[in-house]
Structure 1
Amino acid sequence: MKKWQNVTIKGTKDGLTLHLNDDCSFEELTKELDEKLSAGLLTNEDRALIPVKLETGHRYLTSTQQGELKALIRQKKQLVVEEINSLVITKEEADKQREKNGMVTITKIVRSGQIIEVPGNLLLIGDVNPGGTVKAGGNIFIMGALKGVAHAGCYGNDQAVIAASSMKPSQLRISDSLNRAPDYSNSEEKHEMECAYIDINNKIVIDRLQGLMHLRPNLTRLEGGR
């Protein structure tokens, strides 16, 4: 009796999960998948569609191969593929992740009416003047005075932070949260680098930079970090 080792079917509360061996050829995989799904192991003749999740391991599937698998599975009773998970990513996907998580360094003064936006983290060596705006998908670090608008985590990252040598913003935004920094009188003016982050109450707070290592330990794991 043949042992099927290239395809393993597991039922879950959300449907079916198919674990596909990543060592065999694609032809062997589809042949065994067809045999297993046709073997009468699944009975769902009069029910709604069953969602199927494919776990492909380290196998890279082209768009054509994904289409073949979806079509093959869809032919079997009421099965439909809703998700394909792979441990392999394309070079384009890797480049996008690197861009998203990387650091862009810019040296300039952001003047009124100017907007700088980067997909990942931003290191600005210079000031953000009133009316100027800096936006980043990740964190914002300003080696200068922040007097304009800073929006970190602008694509929904609520763990992002904003740090500046002089924190006097007209507006701070992190993800979907918004806050206007308090006005400092001359006697209250800060002379140390500060940071802004979202606290456990989902509010933006400004604190001394030294506390960030405990609040956001992953900051030290940016590209090039440990």
Structure 2
Amino acid sequence: MKKMQNVMIKGTKDGLTLHLDDSCSYDELKKELDEKLSASYRAQDDRPLITVKVKVGNRYLDEEQREEIKSLIRQKKNLVVDSIETNVITIQEAEQMKNKSEIVTVAKIIRSGQVLQVEGDLLLIGDVNPGGTVIAGGNIFIMGALRGIAHAGCYGNNEAVIAASSMNPAQLRISQFINRAPDQRVEEENREMECAYIDDNDQINVDRLQVLMHLRPNLSRFEGGR
């Protein structure tokens, strides 16, 4: 009977894709991976670097195992690991993903010296007073006046936005970008709701709220309550 292959190597225009079987033991998998790569991709100084994507299906790899796989592949000198993809995540990782995607609603006034931070999107019903700070991993929506500091996309999400009924901040931050408010800005009671976002020039721009439906069409997820 022909032995079943635990490691399949496929060449693509972007490099190599390694399909690793998820039913054999981890030790078997490592052994066969080492053998196949050693036979096919011996290190050569004049050989260009080859990008490798690793797909492990329904196998869970902890950090130590991921590093072992990466190290094994890197030993071939000319191979560079681009990513390791798995269909399996831990409960903790699933909870972290859920926290970063959910909308947290808070009804309060953020006063001077107070900091409110959430993992995902923030919907604040209330004002952010001067000296107050709101921080979110996702978007920030303020049903009130923003006079303090707002930092959206704090984990590096450049697509995050900040919206407020009255936009008169001390400072706006989106991802790693910072925009200080003008020294003097007249606050109008009937000012139209505004939003801040990162434009094509990597600058924080403030505009009418209506532009978001064109700039960030994914925000329409709120309509269905998802």
Common fold by TM > 0.5 = yes
Q: 1:33 to 1:81 in 2, by over 3 A?
A: farther
Q: 1:64 to 1:81 in 2, by over 3 A?
A: farther
Coordinate RMSD, CA, aligned: 3.6
Preserved contact between residue 125 and residue 144 of structure 2 (Cα < 8 Å): yes
Preserved contact between residue 100 and residue 120 of structure 2 (Cα < 8 Å): yes
Gaps of 5+ in 1: none
Please say if 1:145 is aligned against 2:145: yes
Tell me what 1:26 maps to.
25
Preserved contact between residue 102 and residue 121 of structure 1 (Cα < 8 Å): yes
Deviations 1:153-203 (A, max 9, x none): 1221111111111111111111122223344436x6643221111111221
Tell me what 2:167 maps to.
167
Mark the structure with the bigger radius of gyration: 1
Tell me what 1:130 maps to.
130
**Structure 2 CA distance for aligned equivalents of residues 161 and 35 of structure 1:** 46
Matched pairs, number: 222
Deviations 1:72-113 (A, max 9, x none): x57x97698955321211111111111112111111111111
Whichever residue aligns with residue 197 of structure 2, its letter is: Y
Whichever residue aligns with residue 25 of structure 1, its letter is: C
Using the TM superposition, name which of 84-93 and 45-54 deviates more: 45-54
Structure 1 counterpart SS, 2:10:
strand
User: Quick one: which of 42, 45, 48 aligns to 1:44?
Assistant: 42
Deviations 1:130-175 (A, max 9, x none): 1111111111111111111111112211111111111111111111
**Structure 2 CA distance for aligned equivalents of residues 77 and 199 of structure 1:** 42
Gaps of 5+ in 2: none
Structure 2 counterpart SS, 1:41:
helix
Please say if 1:185 is aligned against 2:183: no
Structure 1 counterpart SS, 2:214:
helix
Give the fraction of aligned pairs with identical amino acids, expressed as a percent.
59
Q: 1:91 to 1:37 in 2, by over 3 A?
A: same
Structure 1 runs of 4+ aligned residues shifted over 4 Å read 11-16, 45-53, 62-71, 76-83, 222-226
TM-score (norm 1): 0.77
Map 1:1-226 to 2 at 5 A: 2=2, 4-11=4-11, 17-22=17-22, 24-26=23-25, 30=29, 33=32, 37=36, 41-42=39-40, 44=42, 53-61=53-61, 73=72, 82=81, 83-182=83-182, 183-185=184-186, 190-221=190-221, 225=225
Q: 1:163 to 1:67 in 2, by over 3 A?
A: closer
Q: 1:165 to 1:52 in 2, by over 3 A?
A: closer
Structure 1 counterpart SS, 2:19:
strand
**Structure 2 CA distance for aligned equivalents of residues 64 and 126 of structure 1:** 46
Cα displacement (A) at 1:28: 9.6
Q: 1:41 to 1:135 in 2, by over 3 A?
A: same
Whichever residue aligns with residue 40 of structure 2, its letter is: L
Preserved contact between residue 51 and residue 81 of structure 1 (Cα < 8 Å): yes
Preserved contact between residue 194 and residue 206 of structure 2 (Cα < 8 Å): yes
**Structure 2 CA distance for aligned equivalents of residues 31 and 189 of structure 1:** 66
